[in-house]
Structure 1
Amino acid sequence: MPAFPPSTKHSSRTGGARGAVPPSLSLPVIEAEFPRRLHPYWPRLQQNTRHWLLEKRLMPPDKVAEYADGLCYTDLMAGYYLGAPDAVLQAIADYSAWFFVWDDRHDRHIVHGRTGAWRRLKALLHQALDAPAAHLHHQDPLVAGLADSVLRLYGFLPATWNARFARHFHEVIDAYDREFRNRVEARVPPVGEYLALRRLTFAHWIWTDLLEAAAGRELPDAVRKHRAFRRAALLSQEFAAWYNDLCSLPKEIAGDEVHNLGISLIVHEGLTLEESVEELRRRVLGSIADFLDAEKETRLFADGLGDKEIRDAVLGCLGNMRNWFSSVYWFHHESGRYMVDSWDDRSTPPYVDNALSGEM
């Protein structure tokens, strides 16, 4: 049985009435203090990313037609990177859509025991990240799609930012490999190990790097690594990862998943399902309160910077960290990715084509 009632789809894009959010998932502080906004480019963003998914053969045409808009991948990015130039937001949104498709391929490789296929894909993704131009026409659409999106992202900021982004994403690919092995072995990682790994599989520092692309400049190390700025960035991402675990818990229990904070709490801390849900909620709410403190501290830090352009970039990044809370929250109640109770098979997403999710 689910730990909470099924979600009710609603629309918040135009400021209209929203449907009910299940009590265990409801966060009144988000609804009251983190207003939802969308980048004005969003309608074109949705259309262009849908076209990109088709052009790059990342989803079959029938799946794109039926599910792409309802999955709300572009909504998530359009609610996050406000102020980004249209071309930057488009590249980020396409990369984000690619990331979700990759996540689904990874999942299907695990479910169907395709260890060799995953190892080959992992190696190719590392190669495409380092040499995207050489992989634009790779026979596997997933490899070519990464090459295309990364090559575009590499064009906005200096080579030092590109190298950092690549380093961070290499770590994400390797973390997905560790998750692959845990799931194949049905190994539930202890809570501390899981939390460290989750920061990588959720790509905390990738989405944070992209804040700089949206702001239009690379931040100096002394600014980016400042305790307040880094804490605010981390808390915004921790909120997203933990709230995702809370919303995904029924789907992942149905799919015999082992990578979820709630499942680690049940297996290693002896919590019941209901207690696990409460602990997840406690951590989620704590991350919001801690972010509000870090946000104030980061504003004070920014106000003390002598360079106005860097100050404006820091405040732009900080504002978008705040936007991440509402964007993630509403995404989980709008996207068909989490409407498990409407699926014919609760362990198999309807937007995934199993026949096409192996090696291409």
Structure 2
Amino acid sequence: MPPAKVQEYADGLCYTDLMAGYYTDASDEVLQAIADYSAWFFVWDDRHDRDIVHGRTGHWRRLRHRLHAALDAPRHHLHHPDPLVAGFADSVLRLFGFLPHTWNQRFARHFHAVIEAYDQEFRNRVRGHIPGVEEYLALRRLTFAHWIWTDLLEPSAGCELPASVRRNPAYRRAALLSQEFAAWYNDLCSLPKEIAGDEVHNLGISLITHAGLTLEEAVDDVRRRVEECVSAFLDAEREVLEFARDLDDGTVRGKELGAAVRSCVGAMRNWFSSVYWFHHESGRYRVDNWDDRSTPPYVTNETAGEK
């Protein structure tokens, strides 16, 4: 975005509002870091999209390698000439300051996988490959960064959860359902834009192509999946709250873990309302108001040059 477009569109995109509605227990410092990282993520997503649209394979390849490097050594990339790389390094360094090194390593491992998933999407779109439904769902968990947003529940709660807690079946199921809801609802709201742009990465498009559904049937199928996430989450949430009560065994550590799990599952619940609100308030999805339904008006649609 050039400065004039920032002034005109940035607030209406509501990127930071989305995070404020999710991580409601976070301190101001943690919430600001997460919100800035979220805004960076959307900008990265738009750069990735424009690189695909304009066939900038070399630009994307260089960016991919630079992001991997910045994730491994963020302090060394704070002044990188590409502001997208420098902004990422700044966000990562701030996020790494809240919890122990073990959390930082996990976050980095998860985000390395996200970068590679974006590369897979790049290659799919360049080739015009529409993934099958199961292939798409597995890849979507990475391109939507399910485990990144779940990791960020912990600095929001002020506590790194041990693996035994994170791997509890109910906790993991509740976390996955909150993210699946968000990813699939995003696909539902993005479908008009992505059909207009001849894109290949959308659950609705996979259902149309590989399950032989009509557009209307695909929309109904995605909506059904979204609704099932809500009801299944409510069941998982009850189990997680029981698990939190069991953790709170009268010890100081037990009380801390029980409170942290309650905070995390409460934020998972918030994700449903925050995502729903965001998709109906953000200018990112108001495609009927755009001159070109495939191209957001806030994107600088340059065809050459690397920023």
Q: Cα gap change, 1:195/1:308 in structure 2, threshold over 3 Å: closer, same or farther?
A: same
Which of 31, 37, 50 in structure 2 is aligned with 1:108? 50
**How do 1:329-348 and structure 2 match up within 5 A?**
329-348=276-295
Matched residue, 2:103 = 161
Count residues in correspondence: 302
1:62-120 residue CA offsets vs partner (Å, 9 max, x unmatched): 11100000000011000000010000000000000000000000000000000011000
2:30 matches 1:88: yes
Following the alignment from structure 1 to structure 2, what is the Cα–Cα distance between the partners of residues 358 and 63? 19
**How do 1:145-184 and structure 2 match up within 5 A?**
145-184=87-126
TM-score (norm 2): 0.97
Conserved? CA contact 2:30–2:156, under 8 Å: yes
* Secondary structure in structure 2 of the residue aligned to 1:270: coil
Following the alignment from structure 1 to structure 2, what is the Cα–Cα distance between the partners of residues 206 and 258? 24
1:357 offset after TM fit, Å? 8.3
Conserved? CA contact 2:74–2:90, under 8 Å: yes
Matched residue, 1:309 = 256
1:359 offset after TM fit, Å? 1.8
Following the alignment from structure 1 to structure 2, what is the Cα–Cα distance between the partners of residues 350 and 357? 18
Conserved? CA contact 1:77–1:92, under 8 Å: yes
Opposite residue 39 of structure 2, the aligned amino acid is: A
Opposite residue 35 of structure 2, the aligned amino acid is: A
Following the alignment from structure 1 to structure 2, what is the Cα–Cα distance between the partners of residues 320 and 253? 32
Conserved? CA contact 2:54–2:303, under 8 Å: no
Conserved? CA contact 1:128–1:147, under 8 Å: yes
Matched residue, 1:46 = none
Following the alignment from structure 1 to structure 2, what is the Cα–Cα distance between the partners of residues 60 and 92? 23
Conserved? CA contact 1:302–1:311, under 8 Å: yes
Following the alignment from structure 2 to structure 1, what is the Cα–Cα distance between the partners of residues 131 and 210? 8
Which of 173, 196, 205 in structure 2 is aligned with 1:254? 196
Conserved? CA contact 2:154–2:161, under 8 Å: yes
Following the alignment from structure 1 to structure 2, what is the Cα–Cα distance between the partners of residues 271 and 346? 23
* Secondary structure in structure 1 of the residue aligned to 2:84: helix
2:244 matches 1:297: no
Structure 1 runs, 4 residues or longer, greater than 4 Å off? none
**How do 1:176-195 and structure 2 match up within 5 A?**
176-195=118-137
Alpha-carbon RMSD: 0.9
Following the alignment from structure 2 to structure 1, what is the Cα–Cα distance between the partners of residues 81 and 50? 19
* Secondary structure in structure 1 of the residue aligned to 2:123: helix
* Secondary structure in structure 2 of the residue aligned to 1:359: coil
1:344 offset after TM fit, Å? 1.1
Matched residue, 1:235 = 177
Matched residue, 2:205 = 263
Following the alignment from structure 1 to structure 2, what is the Cα–Cα distance between the partners of residues 357 and 78? 36
* Secondary structure in structure 2 of the residue aligned to 1:355: coil
Following the alignment from structure 1 to structure 2, what is the Cα–Cα distance between the partners of residues 83 and 231? 21
Conserved? CA contact 1:194–1:259, under 8 Å: yes
1:295-342 residue CA offsets vs partner (Å, 9 max, x unmatched): 001111111012001000000000000000000001000000000011
Opposite residue 159 of structure 2, the aligned amino acid is: R
Conserved? CA contact 1:105–1:357, under 8 Å: no
Q: Cα gap change, 1:84/1:117 in structure 2, threshold over 3 Å: closer, same or farther?
A: same
Conserved? CA contact 2:12–2:283, under 8 Å: yes
Q: Cα gap change, 1:245/1:61 in structure 2, threshold over 3 Å: closer, same or farther?
A: same
Following the alignment from structure 2 to structure 1, what is the Cα–Cα distance between the partners of residues 78 and 6? 21
* Secondary structure in structure 2 of the residue aligned to 1:304: helix
Opposite residue 246 of structure 1, the aligned amino acid is: L
2:301 matches 1:359: no
1:355 offset after TM fit, Å? 2.9
1:208 offset after TM fit, Å? 0.3
1:356 offset after TM fit, Å? 8.8
* Secondary structure in structure 1 of the residue aligned to 2:134: helix
2:163 matches 1:216: no
Opposite residue 252 of structure 1, the aligned amino acid is: E
Opposite residue 256 of structure 2, the aligned amino acid is: E
Following the alignment from structure 1 to structure 2, what is the Cα–Cα distance between the partners of residues 67 and 297? 42
Higher helix share: 2
Stretches of structure 1 that go unaligned for 5 or more consecutive residues are 1-58
Following the alignment from structure 1 to structure 2, what is the Cα–Cα distance between the partners of residues 342 and 353? 17
Following the alignment from structure 1 to structure 2, what is the Cα–Cα distance between the partners of residues 118 and 191? 26
Q: Cα gap change, 1:357/1:73 in structure 2, threshold over 3 Å: closer, same or farther?
A: farther
